[in-house]
């Protein structure tokens, strides 16, 4: 990206002045090196989002931002319905409520490295992964609608997990306002056999060790100790979320003119929050969130079964579950007054600061866990939300390393078998149904996650708590 088009606006903060129809400025949170490495398309997309009706504050991009569909991945924007604010399917993304759940185990790393291959095989056997993967859960029409309304609580009521799990999930494991009637039969059909599956792309189940603790107080609250093992599950709403996104993008693009909306980019198709189409999308999108929450809850249960087979002393406890492709109704102070806003986070994580009433008691004193994924062979991080993040970025932070090259380019540069062999040489066990998928997700295809996390901390979005290293990776 041409940095001369940006104005420094603080440490690791860059401003794009409003121009060409922008209603608010653009803000990029990143180091100079990260900004220079971003495609110019990121700047264009940040500017285009700033032109949408009812946007308030700024159109923002997190340190891991890269070019996406409509919104940049890593994009954050809030809309005020009292000012004609809109909801955009492109601002949520196709994998609705894709997110990460991290589990503590209480195990020392030696207990896992001694049985890493057996554990990898057990996890790969229990948790279906890959394109079109199907699980053992089969949903008829009635159960499908119950799942879309109930989320992780629906899964819990059917024996997948414990009540303690839900205390550590956003929205208590169930997003209110879901409307299964707003979800098409095709979307439901696509999801019928996919519950409890990882899917493909950058989704994974990873067994990790806590390498370094950076914030001892927060680590204690999170149950993290150096040298112990945790498990992270990264997946979303599978075929259902993709179908919802595809269908509503088409409808929003077709109806934009009728609502008096001129789209700066067709990929930014949107509808007024206070419109029949906007309400329908929100009902469908919230159903997608519940689907993802239920999916991660089932996978948690299957992960516990696999660990029980190989390391029966493990006690897998949910640390936190956070989504990073959502639109949520939140209260924020913008331009001197508190408002109810529709906050889009696409490839960005909510990062509530200390004292926030939505956090469960043990976490409230230190802030919300922010789960930042790496990619096979690279570090992952657990951060904590900050008080300053509310005013700076609507309590938002990065969600991962962010791609540095396309999947196509990565597939041409690396061979999956070579990547697996290289990681095995480093002591990292990989299981995947697709060597092509492994090549596309090679560690070198991503940005330096440590640099992304440091930029988030210096910019005041979230602070570092613990750095994790991979031991076993089940890759979609």
97-112 as b/e, with b when 16 or more CB fall inside 10 Å?
bbbbbbbbbebebebb
Strand stretches in 179-309, DSSP E: 204-213, 228-235, 270-272
d(CA 459, CA 347): 18
240 closest CA partner among 193, 196, 191, 284:
191
pLDDT in tens, the chain (476 residues): 999 999 999 999 999 999 999 999 999 999 999 999 999 999 999 999 999 999 999 999 999 999 999 999 999 999 999 999 999 999 999 999 999 999 999 999 999 999 999 999 999 999 988 777 788 889 999 999 999 999 999 999 999 999 999 999 999 999 999 999 999 999 999 999 999 999 888 899 999 999 999 999 999 999 999 999 999 999 999 999 999 999 999 999 999 999 999 999 999 999 999 999 999 999 999 999 999 999 999 999 999 999 999 999 999 999 999 999 999 999 999 988 999 999 999 999 999 999 999 999 999 999 999 999 988 889 999 999 999 999 999 999 999 999 888 999 999 999 999 999 999 999 999 999 999 999 999 999 999 999 999 999 999 999 999 999 999 999 98
The alpha carbon torsion through 35, 346, 420, 228 (nearest 10 deg) reads: 100
d(CA 311, CA 305): 10
How many C-beta neighbours within 10 Å does residue 375 have? 25
What local confidence, expressed as pLDDT, does residue 99 receive?
A: 97
Q: Write down all domains in the chain, each with its CATH number in brackets.
A: 3-475 (3.90.1860.10)
Is 88 in contact with 52 (CB distance < 8 Å)? Answer: yes
Considering the entire predicted model, what is its pTM?
A: 0.96
What local confidence, expressed as pLDDT, does residue 132 receive?
A: 77
What local confidence, expressed as pLDDT, does residue 130 receive?
A: 76
What local confidence, expressed as pLDDT, does residue 335 receive?
A: 87
Is 77 in contact with 71 (CB distance < 8 Å)? Answer: yes
Instruction: Give me 435's structure tokens.
Output: 């060597």
Q: Look up tokens 């997110």; give the residue.
A: 99
Angle between helices 276-310 and 116-126 (to 10 degrees): 140
What local confidence, expressed as pLDDT, does residue 129 receive?
A: 87
What local confidence, expressed as pLDDT, does residue 114 receive?
A: 96
Is 154 in contact with 161 (CB distance < 8 Å)? Answer: no
Q: Which is it for strands 325-334 and 337-346: parallel, antiparallel or unpaired?
A: antiparallel
Instruction: Give me 80's structure tokens.
Output: 């005020």
What local confidence, expressed as pLDDT, does residue 131 receive?
A: 77
Q: Please identify every residue annotated as catalytic.
A: 399
Instruction: Give me 468's structure tokens.
Output: 């994790």
87 closest CA partner among 242, 224, 233, 259:
259
d(CA 298, CA 377): 26
What local confidence, expressed as pLDDT, does residue 55 receive?
A: 98
14 closest CA partner among 37, 30, 36:
30
What local confidence, expressed as pLDDT, does residue 83 receive?
A: 96
């Amino acid at each position: 990206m041409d940095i001369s088009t940006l104005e420094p606006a603080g440490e690791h903060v860059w401003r794009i002045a409003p121009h060409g129809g922008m209603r608010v400025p653009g803000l990029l949170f990143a180091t100079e090196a990260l900004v220079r490495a971003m495609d110019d398309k990121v700047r264009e997309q940040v500017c285009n989002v700033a032109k949408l009706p009812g946007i308030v504050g700024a159109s923002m991009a997190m340190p891991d931002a890269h070019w996406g569909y409509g919104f940049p991945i890593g994009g954050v924007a809030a809309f005020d319905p009292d000012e004609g604010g809109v909801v955009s399917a492109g601002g949520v993304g196709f994998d609705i409520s894709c997110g990460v759940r991290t589990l503590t185990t209480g195990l020392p790393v030696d207990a896992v490295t001694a049985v890493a291959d057996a554990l990898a095989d057990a996890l790969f056997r229990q948790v279906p992964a890959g394109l079109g993967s199907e699980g053992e859960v089969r949903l008829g029409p009635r159960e499908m609608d119950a799942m879309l309304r109930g989320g992780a609580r629906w899964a819990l009521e059917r024996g997948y997990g414990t009540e303690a799990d839900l205390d550590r999930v956003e929205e208590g494991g169930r997003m209110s306002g879901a409307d299964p009637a707003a979800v098409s039969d095709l979307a439901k059909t696509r999801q019928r056999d996919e519950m409890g599956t990882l899917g493909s792309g950058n989704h994974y189940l990873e067994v990790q060790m806590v390498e370094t603790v950076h914030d001892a107080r927060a680590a204690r609250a999170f149950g993290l100790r150096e040298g112990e093992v945790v498990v992270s599950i990264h997946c979303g709403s599978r075929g259902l979320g993709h179908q919802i996104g595809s269908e509503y993008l088409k409808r929003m693009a077709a109806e934009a003119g009728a609502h008096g909306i001129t789209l700066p980019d067709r990929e930014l198709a949107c509808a007024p929050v206070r419109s029949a189409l906007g309400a329908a999308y929100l009902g469908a999108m919230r159903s997608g969130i519940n689907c993802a929450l239920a999916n991660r809850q089932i996978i948690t249960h299957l992960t516990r079964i696999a660990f029980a087979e190989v390391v029966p002393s493990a006690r897998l406890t949910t640390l936190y579950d956070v989504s990073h492709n959502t639109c949520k109704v939140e209260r924020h102070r913008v331009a001197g007054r508190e408002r109810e806003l529709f906050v889009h986070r696409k490839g960005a994580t909510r990062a509530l600061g200390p004292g926030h009433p939505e956090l469960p008691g043990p976490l409230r004193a230190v802030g919300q866990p922010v789960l930042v994924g790496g990619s096979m062979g690279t570090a992952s991080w657990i951060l904590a939300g900050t008080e300053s993040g509310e005013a700076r970025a609507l309590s938002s932070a990065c969600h991962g390393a962010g791609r540095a090259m396309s999947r196509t380019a990565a597939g041409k540069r690396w061979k999956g078998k070579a990547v697996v062999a290289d990681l095995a040489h480093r002591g990292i066990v990989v299981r995947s149904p697709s060597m092509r998928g492994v090549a596309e997700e090679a560690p070198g295809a991503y940005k330096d996650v440590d640099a992304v996390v440091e930029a988030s901390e210096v910019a005041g979005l979230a602070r570092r708590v613990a750095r994790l290293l991979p031991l076993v990776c089940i890759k979609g």
